[in-house]
Amino acid sequence: MTSIKRVGVVGAGQMSQGITEVCARAGLHVTLCDVTEDRARAGLAGVADSLLKAEKRGTVAPEGRTHALAGISATGDLSRLAESDLVIEAAVEDEQAKTALFRRLDEVTDPGAVLAGNTSSIPIARLAAATARPEAVVGLHFFNPVPLMPLVEIIPTLHTSEATERRARAFAGDLLGKTTITTQDRAGFVVNSLLVPYLLAAVRMVGSGTTTARDIDTGMTAGCAHPLGPLHLADLIGQSGLLGRKSGQEFFATRRPERTAEAVPQAWGRLPRPPSPGRSRQRSVGGQRNAARPVTAWPTTRVCISLVPS
């Protein structure tokens, strides 16, 4: 089984930056590629910032940070991935764009390279079908933030060879030190198949006025020993681009106290459903507005069509 020493990462967003960071910290040579070199360099800057924060926390030694950064290059040219042993796609979550990308990767990479998709909403088999080497295509689903989350889901298709699956598992488990689980190529795989209905149920409970966001999260943390409630988690991972920390529309405004609960439906505009009559939309402590207050009645007409952690 050929060892993996050079990794290509396609996409320069938050997930791609995390994958790039953990690979570089493991001593691998990483090429970070996006549609333009400027975007790729912006992604590299994000990796550098994350490594600096890790050094300040004491989780990475200064020499480790320097070595990791030295092993990363940024490019806007897919042909620069030609010598990669493994290419991980973490680009826009669009099936047409991804299949076109896999078709191009099949052309520019070495025939012995493994091509991996980091998606939980598009079948890996469809990505593999765009290539002439479906046996070398596998799913590697990381979780955000990648440097902190220990899990990677490994998704072989019906055409993935045993050798490719072994290489993927050795890469994620042995080289990166991640915990790996294997799942069939089905929508949501394991984690999101369980997580998405759970988060949707929490959102709907708030929308129906059953209880508050805070009480839902307290119920799950204090009653089920979950480290994080479903709505705090939904804020963290984002939901369909409409809600969550990435969009500035959160259930808990802990990071944006200036965004009052009253302002959120106005900001949405197209989600006008009012809260249940008589329900308070803010709390106060000692006469002061609580910056960590929950939004207790959220419009749900167009919320959470698909919840996929990115």
Neighbours of 27 (CB within 10 A): 12
Q: Write down the pLDDT at residue 248.
A: 52
Q: Write down the pLDDT at residue 301.
A: 31
Question: Pick the catalytic residue: 141, 144, 250, 310?
Answer: 141
Is the preceding omega at residue 123 within 30 degrees of 0, hence cis?
A: no
**What gap in Å lies between CA 257 and CA 261, rounded to an integer?**
9
pLDDT tens by residue, 41-97: 999 999 999 999 999 999 999 999 999 999 999 999 999 999 999 999 999 889 999
Residue 153 annotated among the catalytic residues of the structure = yes
Q: What is the pTM of this model?
A: 0.78
**What gap in Å lies between CA 229 and CA 222, rounded to an integer?**
9
Alpha-carbon separation of residue 294 from 29, 133, 231, 300, 302 (angstroms): 44, 50, 10, 15, 20
Residue 120 annotated among the catalytic residues of the structure = yes
Portion of the chain with pLDDT greater than 90, in percent = 71
**What gap in Å lies between CA 154 and CA 185, rounded to an integer?**
9
Average pLDDT for residues 117-133, to the nearest whole number? Answer: 95
Question: Pick the catalytic residue: 165, 192, 232, 310?
Answer: 192
The region that residue 296 occupies, defined by phi over 0 for left and psi between -120 and 50 for alpha, beta otherwise, is: alpha
Q: Are 255 and 223 contacting, i.e. CB atoms less than 8 angstroms apart?
A: no
Residue 141 annotated among the catalytic residues of the structure = yes
Q: Write down the pLDDT at residue 76.
A: 97
Question: Pick the catalytic residue: 153, 165, 250, 310?
Answer: 153
Question: Pick the catalytic residue: 120, 165, 232, 250?
Answer: 120
Block residue for tokens 């994958």: 19
Counting other chains too, the contacts that 266-270 makes at CB distance below 8 Å and 24 or more residues apart are 268/242, 268/299, 270/302
Alpha-carbon separation of residue 68 from 21, 22, 27, 190 (angstroms): 8, 9, 7, 31
Q: Write down the pLDDT at residue 254.
A: 53
pLDDT tens by residue, 154-174: 999 999 999 999 999 999 999
> What is the DSSP-derived secondary structure letter of residue 249?
B
Rg for the chain (alpha carbons), in Å? 21
| Whether pLDDT at 221 is above 70 | yes
Instruction: Tell which wins on pLDDT, 99 or 293.
Output: 99
Which residue from 295, 278, 286, 275 is spatially nearest to 214, judged by alpha carbons? 295
Residue 121 annotated among the catalytic residues of the structure = no
Under the banding of pLDDT at 50, 70 and 90, the label for residue 252 is confident
Q: Write down the pLDDT at residue 121.
A: 85
Mean pLDDT score of the chain, rounded to an integer? 83
